[in-house]
Structures are given as structure tokens and as C-alpha cells.
Amino acid sequence: MEIIIEQEELLQKSKEFKLFSGPVLTRIFNKTGVAGYEIGTLGSAGLLKYKDRFFVVTAKHVVTLNNELIPLADIVIPYQYQGGTKALTLLKQAVDSDRDIAIFEVAQTSAEFMEQEQNNCFLEDGLIYEDPLGYFEKKCNVVFLHGISKQETELDYDAYVVDMTTTPYTTFIDRVDEASERIVLMADVDGTNEFGQPGHPLPDFSGMSGSFAYSYQREDTENPFRLLGILSNGNKEAGFLWVIPISEAVEILEKEFFSN
């Protein structure tokens, strides 16, 4: 039986989703080695707690410059701590170029410092959707996104301040591409804002790559959002966004961090 979800419900859930997903969203920077411009902006990422260990998950192309993987020591993921700024301590990275996935393990102490400032900033693995490629056919076509657009990120190099505006975005699945095993989402130039006003211009999706995409579990009133995948790339002029199923990241986690 087909179930119609009214716009009012989606607007309300979008507001709830913004609060739920905001703490899990982060921005990745890199050390440039250029005097006066020491930090460069890369893309978005999600924070995940998997089997009691802490990880940053993103798209591989986010941490690639000039076709070269950025060294682990040059990756910077800042967070606020006791009125100042610290950077997460990264222990190890695992990269799969074919799947466009990069995963960084975070030192437990560093993750705990971050969580002291903001609870629930690492998404629990119990909220991973187990069959992302089957979601469209078996469950629903609604997908919630939350990333940080490059267009909405400003660096003040003199004051060492980064000003970022996040972009929560609710959209729908167009199809599941069987050849690439990617979830293809609809993307528009304009959308409806949280107050129900149409024609609201959307920022460019550049910079949102690496952020998490979530499914909608309508029947679960306590936890209606589940981790569906990682935003790989997209173009609002072309009208589509592509999502990497989170199951592929789980396979890399198991192989690279838990196989022994």
C-alpha cells in the first residue's frame, strides 16, 4: 500500500532532523604549509561511534588534492573546547579509492573531550540502516541530508576564525543505480524552507560531500532517523545527488580496524 507523507509532516521532521544531525556533522580542513593561509577547507564528514571506538567518515575525494591523498598529519578536524579550539587526534586512516570512502580513527581521549562539550556528537552504530540499497523499494523514498557547503564557509585568516552555515536538506530518492550500487537523489536549484515558503534558493552542494545521509523510519517515533550512507557528489543544475551506501563503510571498518 502506498503511503503519502504530507508536506507538513516533512517540514516538522526536517526541523527535528536538523537538531539530531547537527552534532554529528563536522568539517575537514588541511594544513597548507602556506604562510598566512595555513588552513584550507576540504569537505564535510560524519562522526560515528562503532563498536565503542570513534571514527570520522567521509568521501575519499574530500581528502584528496591534485590526485594525491592528503597525509594523515595534515588533516585538521577542529572542535570547540572550554571556550577555545582543539583538533581531534587521529590515529589511523583507511581509504578505498574505488568506493570513494575515507575513514579516520579518533583517539578515545580526544573524542571524549569533544563529547564533554557536545553530547551525542558521535552517532551510535545502533542507528545504522542495515539494508541501504533496499530502503527505496522496501521502505520509503525520503532522505534527510545535512552538510556544510563551501559557499557557506568563510575563513578569516587574520583572526583565525571560521564562519560556517550548515545546510539541512530533505529530498527524495530518484532511483538506485544497480551498476554503481549508488542511491541517486533528486536535487533542485530551489526548495521549500522550514517555514513552508517555496522558491527558497539552495546553496551549492560543493563542500557537502562526505556528509551523512539518513533514512526516515516513520513508525519509530523515538529514533526516526537512521544512517543510510555518505554523500559522494552531486550537482543541483544536473538535478541529482549520489549517496554511497553506509554498508560499504561498515565493510571497510570491519576489515581495516576490527579484522584481527
pLDDT of residue 1: 38
Write the CA distances from 107 to 52, 146, 209, integer angstroms. 12, 25, 24
Once rounded to an integer, what is the mean pLDDT over residues 6-27? 90
The answer to whether residue 231 scores a pLDDT higher than 70 is: yes
State the Cα–Cα distance between residues 235 and 202, nearest whole angstrom. 11
Q: Are strands 101-106 and 190-191 parallel, antiparallel or unpaired?
A: unpaired
User: In this structure, what C-alpha cell is assigned to residue 227?
Assistant: 544512517
Write the CA distances from 231 to 115, 150, 185, 214, integer angstroms. 24, 14, 10, 10
Q: Which CATH class is domain 7-257?
A: mainly beta
Lowest pLDDT segment from 35-39, 52-56, 84-88, 239-243: 35-39
Once rounded to an integer, what is the mean pLDDT over residues 208-218? 93
The full set of domain ranges for the chain reads: 7-257
| Most confident of the following: 78-82, 85-89, 185-189, 197-201 | 85-89
pLDDT of residue 74: 95
> What are the residue ranges of helices labelled H in the chain?
7-21, 108-117, 135-138, 246-257
Answer with the residue of higher pLDDT: 179 or 41: 179
Backbone angles phi, psi at 51, to 5 degrees: 50, 45
pLDDT of residue 233: 83
Q: What is the pTM of this model?
A: 0.91
